[in-house]
Amino acid sequence: MSVDLGSEWMKVAIVSPGVPMEIILNTDSQRKTPLAVAFRDGERYIGDSALNVGIRFPEKTFTHFIDLLGKNRVGSIAVRKYLERFPYHKIVENEKDQTIEFVINDQDQELRFTPEELLAMMLTKARHYAEVASASSSPTGQAQTITDCVLTVPPYFSQTERKALKLAAQLAGLKVLQLFNVNSAFALNYGIFRRKDFNSTNPTNILFYDMGAGSTLATIASYRLVKTKERGFTETDPQLTIKGLMIIVSMI
């Protein structure tokens, strides 16, 4: 399973025999799912249903929590900016676990969740979508059990944030095969399906501009064909080089 994680949305795909390489549909027949989790009256809501809860109960609905992965201080810049944007949320420090927690009250009961736990809930839902989609390609019509995943990550994520992302996957029962920088992912995807457009003499330089909800990335990728030898055979493969130009836009 591969999951493209953004600040507002996630998209899921699977790699399986007989299944075309495309983004799979969620239960609402949409190719992207809001990165949102809500709790109300003892029930948990994920995706669009969570956003619906947020219309009346914004304090019980959590979004953009991926921006808080790996944070352990309420006074950090990221947490302060988050609370400025979402003042109805309460965030406290957990000194024992060296993390931060969202605190809400539901049915006179205090609930606490770390950003990693909220993301784990989203990844669990992503796995459900992937397993349902895998059933359509199975000869028996039975869903496959998915335990491995590849996750996209912003290139500016620190090692602490990447470790927190892996922790979220672990909480969801998933093994992370690789964290793939999102700009490398779309540059690689572009090159794979356009091999005939490249040559070994003049590199083809492409500027990719990705404006998301939490950041804006500009990446220059250079493509050319190179010859490589494997076991005495000569083959021609596209080579991708990320030279990198990155612009980060603060949340407004």
- Mean per-residue pLDDT pooled into runs of 10, the chain (252 residues): 93 80 87 96 96 96 96 94 96 91 94 97 96 78 88 92 96 96 88 84 88 83 76 47 44 36
> Do 16 and 134 touch, CB atoms closer than 8 A?
yes
- Beta-sheet pairing, 148-153 with 2-5: parallel
pLDDT at 120: 98
Q: How far apart are CA 161 and CA 158, in angstroms?
A: 5
Domains recognised in the chain with CATH numbers: 2-181 (3.30.420.40), 183-247 (no CATH)
| Tens digits of residue pLDDT in 196-252 | 888 888 888 889 988 877 788 888 888 888 776 555 444 444 444 444 444 444 333
- Listed residue (161, 160, 165) closest to 176, CA to CA: 165
Model-level pTM? 0.84
Q: How far apart are CA 25 and CA 84, in angstroms?
A: 34
**Helix, strand, or coil (residue 235):** strand
> Do 65 and 119 touch, CB atoms closer than 8 A?
yes
